[in-house]
Every structure is written in C-alpha cells, then in structure tokens.
Structure 1
Amino acid sequence: MKQHSIHAWLLKHTRLTDKSLTDIQLGQARLRLGLAPAGLYYIWLHDSNFSQYGNVFLAVLAAYFIYTCITLYTIRQQPLSAFRSITSPLLDIVIVSFGMLVDGGQGSGIYFLYLIIIFGHGFRFGSSMMLYTQSLSLAGLLAMTSFLWLQSPTTIDLSLLFWQLTTLVVLPAYVYLIVQSAEQAIKARTEAENSSFNLLDKGPTPVFTFAPDLSGRPSILYTNRATDNLFGHARTMLVGEEVDKLILPEDRREMSRFCLDTLAMETSPEQPATNQIYIRGTDSGGNILKLTCTAIRMHWQNRWIGVCFMLDITQRETLHEQLESISKKAYMSTMVAGIVHDFRNVLNNIIGYAELLHMNASDNESRQQLAEIIAAGDRGSDLITHLLKLSNKQHTAAAQVGKTEGSMLAQPLENIVGLSRLQMPQHIQLVCDIEKSLPDVAISIIEIEQVLLNLINNAMQAIRSDGQISICVSSDHQHRLATAEHPALCIRVSDNGPGIADEDLDHVFKPFWTSRGDKGGSGLGLAMVQRIVKRHHGSINIDSVANQQTTFTVHIPPFSGQEIPTRGTEESPAPSSTSLPATAPCHILLVDDAPDIRRVHKSMLSRLGHTADTAENGLQALALFKKHTDRYDLVITDYRMPVMDGLELTEQIRRLDADVPILMITAYGEDRSLQQVDQYNAILVSKPVMLEKLSQGIADAMRPGS
C-alpha cells in the first residue's frame, strides 16, 4: 500500500508541474492553516448550529490545526509518506463535513470545499488521489446528511442531496477524464523525448545539448556515445562542463558565442532556425579535429536548450588537401611535359634545318656558325630532359607500384564521387555505379582517383544548364587489355553536355588546349589523365555525339604479377664518328602529326638517299600500309599523335607484318609507356633528331635480327 501510494499518487505531480514534491506539500499545509481560521470565522458569522456543536467543532479544528503544524515539520524530513497521504485528505473531509453540520447542513456554502479538495489533490497528486478524495467526499456528505436525518427527517431536501451527490460524482469524473488525457499526452511526450535521446545515443552522429549555467555561460547537459568516442572523454567528464572544453583555446570564444547565439535565435514550428560554424576541436590525446557544428534551439522540459550536431571533417579535409597537392604536382608535371614536348619539336626543326644547311655550306665560317647552332640546340635538349626528369620524380614511385587490390578500390572511388557531388552546382545530377568486385591493377589508388576526379571535373565544366553525369566503374573481360583470367579495369564517365566538335577531338589531350578558358579550364586535366593512363599501358577513348552525350572510357590493364622489362630512355649519345652509317636506299613510310616536323625529316631522309611517303596520324598511315603492304622497307613514326598514336600504330602493323623495321621518334623520352616498344621489336629515338642520330637509328632498325 505504501509503495502504491508513493508511486501511483505522490509521484504523479511531476508530470504536471515544475515544483518539487516537498514544495507542493508545504504549500498545501500552509493553505490548510489559512483556510481553517477563515472557515471558522465564516461559520461563526452565520451562527446556524454553532451554539449546539461549536465546542466539539472547535476541538476537532484544534486537532486539525495541530496535525497540520506537525505536517509542516515532518514534510522536509520525509516527503514521501503513505500515512500522511491517506490521513490528510481524510481530515480535510472530516473538517468540511463537520463545518457543514455546524453551518446548518445541506444548504451550507462550505459544500463547495469538497470540490476544491477533490480538484486540489487531483491536480497535485494525480487521478488516483482524486478518486480517493472523491470517495471520501461522498462518504462525508452522506454521513453528515444521515446524522441530520436522524435528528430531524423533515429537514432533509432529497432533491438537493441528489444534485449534490451528482455534482460530486459527475464533475470530478469529467475532470478525471481531462486529467487522464493530459497525463497520456505528457506520457507520450516523455516517451518521445526518451526515444529521441535513445536514438541520438545510438546514432553515429556526435550530438550534445547545452543550456546556460548560473553564470550565463553555455554548459553541456548531455552527450551521446558518438561524441564521447570522438573526443575520447567519458560522459561524466563532459556533462556539466562548459562547451568550450571540447574546443581549441584559440576557438573557445567563438564556440561560446555560437552557442549563445543559438539559444537567442527566434524559432517557429514551421521554420526552425539553425546555426552553423566551422571550428577546431581536440580529442583526449591533444589531436586536432576539424568540425562542422550545426545547432538548433528547442523547447524541452519547460525550458529552451540548444542541440548541436557535429561532423568530423578531419579526414575529408586531409584527403582534400592531399588530392589538391597531388593535383598541383600532376598539373605541374603535365605542364612541364607539354612544354618539353613542344620545345623538343622546335629544337628538332632548328637542328634539322641547321644540319641540312651545314652539309650544303661551302665556306668554313658558315659551317662553323651552323655547327654552333646545332651544338646549342643539343645543349637545350639536355636541359629540358633534366627538367622533365625533375618534374617526374613524384610519378616514378607511383608508376612502380606493385599491386593495388581490387577490393581496396570501391570505397575510395565512392568517396571521390561523394566529394565531387558536394562541389557540383545544383543543376547537375551525378549518378554512380561502382562494382564491389574490381580487378587487381598495377596502379596506385591515388592515380586512379586523379583520373576519375579530372574526368568528373571535365564533364561538370561541359554541362552549361541542367544535366547529368553518369559514372560506371566495372570489370571488362572483353577488352584487349584483359587476359583469360584477369579482366581490365574500366572507368566510364558520361555527360549530356553539348559534346566535343569533330575538329577538336584531336586536341583535347594536348596540354593547355581548352575550349572552356572562360570557365576556368586550364587545359591540363585531360592531358594529365592521358599521361597517367599511358604510363600504365592503359587506353583512353572518346565517344561524343553533338548535344547528346560525351563518354570518356578508360581501361587499365590487370595486375599480371610480372614486371615489365625496363628500357633506358636516355637520349643515345651521337656516334663519335663523323661519318654517317651506310644504309641502302629505302622507301620509308614517315608518320608525324606536325607538318614542319614531317618536312624536316623528309628532307633529312632525302639527304641520306631515301624516299618517303608521309601520313599525319596513325590511322592514315595504317591505311597506306594495308594498301601497299610490300612497298615500304621501313616505318618511321612519331609517338604522340591524335586519332591513333605511334604505339597503337606499331601494334597494328605488327599484326600485319612481324618483320618490317620500325623506328619510333618521340619527344616524350621519359614516358614509361614507351617500354612496350621492346615488345614490338622497334627502335626508339628521342627528339631532337639530328642527321647523324637519324642515320644511326635507321641503320639499327635495318640491321638483321634487330
């Protein structure tokens, strides 16, 4: 009974008021002390039956007064008392019933004190206490009426008694229903609050709540497990502390102001206000955390508190900084490679024409001056070769990576796509499909991320209005780079922008060439992609339909478990002999996309006694070779060309003729893709090409068994 009284009655009040149980009972006792003399004065004024029952009533009232005084003393020592909870309402009803008897019976205005007692106990202590006092009131009214009926039956008004009893039953019952609804609503709210905090506590997002302390500074009320894990503190160490305990000393002022501003925000149910800040925190080990904090103000348990959601962007920012650093280095390397390539072509023309003039010059002074020009050009070639090596240092290690497991690729690539999506304009939709099972490849994850990131940026810059970028990363078993056991890695990026004009397809991979210079295009992104792909012996293709779709498809060969034989790509020193190697006249297929280079090389070949047909790209040269299979004694091709480069041309020619000599000339002497030249039994010569070097290269290519 005692436990039921405490939990079912006395603790009900905590749902309806902010006051403590002790304060409520003290207020109730003081109210009794005030109402008792007031009621006595009221009865004395009416003087109905006071002369008959006054002495007894005074004795009962004195006992009631003493009991109330004792209650005032004991409440603080024992707020939860089942005895007091039962006897206090009983004494209240006895005093009221006796007061009605002294005041004339049924018609006394003291009757309404029954309702006050019922409602007072109900609102303070809940429905159970209300039903208890209601029962006592009915019993008290009937006892008082029965006593009067025994004294004088004619004085009882049965209709009045009926309405009095009905009022005591119906009106409290109606209030009981209201209280029950209120209690259910409050219970539901409490359960919702508890459920919300349970969800927050189990959620992955770090969350803490805060409110002003006595000094007005925001302090922590609650932290969830994710917050404790993020900062490495026990919950007991954080609750009650000021919010700036989590923040770097340099940022504590900003954090405190952020929390106070959140608590001062005006909110509405239709549009709750939010506050956001980027801040630096520290964990228990003193490590720096980069955080995004979003806070809202909410009403909870009759006061305003702040709720702060934190996002740890430390890893994301670190990854972004690494990618930015890698991109800068890659852009610089690509830029230097482009400059070296173009400068080597310029030197090739200068040295080539100078050598032709040198051979035709008749006076010694002119020959000496031309020799100085040739020597200066040769020194310039050495300088830019060293410059290219310097810019490529960071890529050498990446190119020598042994193996990247396919199982390690999906998550980093999904992260890159996610970061790209955050940086995109809202009018662009990014959809992605990355297979979970990808092949092992001999390329670093960072380089694959570079390829994907640059292709996404290129697609994003191409879309001028509403559009979509589609990404697919998968295994390709059918591609020529795939083996019977290992598929190639395929990266396909498509966009529905305006497309690439046919006349621009040959230029998109050239360094510094861009059709979007007004939009911040540097002309290095695709050049860097091609450089990475070629360095790892992969392929990249473009399929573009005007105003429909542009698709870049990259294939990376699988990791085969074998190292590709290395071949030195240093520029071969010129023979010490001044005489040119003797070679029988040949009919040569000369392939180069630069018209001036073709003219120089054709003139040099003519000087050496050879004839040549020319083609401006690999596809055109392949068509000539297929048409005149037995016509050419030698193929001389440039390495880097549009449509079809020299390496692909060499591969196609070897499928048609395994014995025809091939000499490849390149300005990319340090490109690791050129290691494949050995596989096709071709001779490699680096630009700039002097007459003696060209003659030696032809001799090496034509030598039996070479």
Structure 2
Amino acid sequence: QKMEAIATLAGGIAHDFNNILAPIMGYAEILLMRAGSDEELKSGLKKIFDSAMRAKEIVAQILTFSRSREGEARPVSVTSIVKEVIKLLSSSIPKTISIETDIREDIPPVVADPVHIHQILMNLCTNAFHAMEDQGGTLFIGLDVVEKKGVKYVKLTVSDTGQGIPSEHLHRIFEPYFTTKKLGKGTGLGLAIVHGIVEVYNGHLRVDSKVGQGTTFEVLLPARDGLGQPEGLEHDHPSSESITRFSGSILVVDDEDAVRRVLKGLVQELGLDVETASNAKEALQLLVEQKKTYDLIITDQTMPGMTGIELVKSLRQSGIETPVIICTGYNSKMDKRMGRELRIVDFLLKPVDVATLHRTLKKVFKR
C-alpha cells in the first residue's frame, strides 16, 4: 500500500510537471524555427530546449517508478547511448575520477525505450561518482554479450573503486527513498528506478560490493537478433528549413491554458489553421452543435468532466469520424485495441516536441 501511494503521488507530480514543461519546450522550438541565421540566438534557444528535454527525461524516470509509463520499446543501440553518456561524464566529473571502458564492438540491440537505457546508465554512474567524490578513483563502464539459460543478453557493467556498500545495507539499496548519502547528494530513487526498468524488460540486475574496495553493478537485458535500425538518444532541433508545412485545419482541446496556447503555436508553425477548446464540452459544442469540421483533433486525455477517450467515443456515436491524436501528461500506455476501434491516430506523451508532432501529423496530412 505504501508503494502504491508513492507511485500515485509520483505520477501526479509528473503530470503537473509535464504541463509546466510544455510551454518552455514549445516556445523554445517556435523561436528556433523563427531564428533564421542568427546563430547566437539559436545556440541559446537550443540550450533551453536541451535543458527542457533533460527535465522531460527526469519526469520519465518518475513515471517509470510509478509504473504509469513502460516506455516505447523499439530496437535500441546500447553502444551509442553508452558512448553519449561517457562523453557527457568526461566533461562533468572531477579529474580525480578516471573513466575506463571495455565496449565490445558487435553488441546487438535490445528492445527498449532509449530514455530508459539512458536512465539506467546515468543513475548507476551517478551512484559511482558519489561513492568516489571525496577520494577519487576509477569508474569502469563495460558492454558485453553473455548467454544465460539459452537466452542471449547484453551485459552492461558499471563499477567504481569507492567506499563500497556495507553488507547490512545491500538488501535495501533498491528500496525507494533508501539512501546512505549525505543530504543533497541523492533522492534514494535512482536504484529503485533502475530496478523497475530492468524488471519491465525482463532483465536481471546484480550487485557486488566490498567496503573499502568498491561496487559493481551488472545489468542484463535480452538481446534482439538482427540489427534492424537501432536508435540512440537524440534531441532533434527544429528549423524552418527542415520542417514540412501542411495544409488543413485542427481543433486543439486542453484544459491547461498554457499547454493549449503553445500547442496552437506549434501547429500554426507547421502551416495549419487552428481553433481551440478548453474542455470536451466546448469541443462537442463546436463539432456537434455548430457542426464545424476539422481535418484533425488533438485532445488532452485528462480533463475535468470528460476525458479525451470519452470525447472520442461521444464523437463516434454522433457520426463524426475526424481523426484524433490524444496527448497525456500521465499515462502513455493506453489501450491500443480501443485506440484502433475508435480510429485514434496516436497517443503522445506530453510535453510534445515538434519532431514527434511532425512525424505524427504526417500520418494524417499529405505534403
């Protein structure tokens, strides 16, 4: 019951935080698309956008912990994400801590959300850094392929030469909010998040630690045969040259004024005419009573009075077959079968960036 209460609280905080992030990300992207050749302006805007994306990834950690987000699983190159994280760590950790790596070149992909792989690695490396912060030491990151009971796994190893974990604490390190760190050095959520992610993907997590010698974590994730097109973790920066413009009309429905305004701005930047409604009742008045027509409806899921799904059901019962995209700041794991039955184009996790929005709109509009 305690875990369920914490998960509910975490999910609620994530929902509110996503709504705060939406205008920060959205207006940064709108300005990026209008920046033209001003490189100094674009550089500053990209920093705002990248910071917002990192905040979005932190929210994804909270949602992973609350189990309201299991991620968008697809073939992922663990190697590329590890190299990105190593590059980030090399410029951010003290020179008293050296980084050693042993990365096998022919690592197969795993089927996972790339953000989750990034979270696993960053949380384990952050723990290692804190363990060596005072006296320095060596952070080791390894990637290998192993076989266990006939199943091939990608093995990620993160080890440190820090102070180690006392044996009486080892059995508690994956508990939420359990930490032996000094105040301000951690939330006690990092390893709980890692444990949750590994479980989601049917992996294995092992820890070995000796006081005064250091700690080693091993993460095993099922390997995917066949490379396909594995993805890393990249932040797309929009520009007026790289974005396709569409032609048509959209109704945006969201009870959060700031979210509604920025989504309207983003859609307008993509060339579309936009009308807005602050709740499902207003949307029904426009669509059913006033018989207005649109090429697409983008609606929030969690709204007072009537949810996005309920709005779509009401529209379908009224004979309105307009395509719908549902956005949510809390739970992206909607019922896919219901989505097909209601002819929902896609479910998007807020805050929605231009690259994601653009890819989704391509499913509805022609160039």
What TM-score, normalized by structure 2, do the two folds share? 0.50
More helix by share: 1
What TM-score, normalized by structure 1, do the two folds share? 0.27
Q: Say which structure, 1 or 2, has more relative contact order (CA 8 Å, 6+ apart).
A: 2
More strand by share: 2
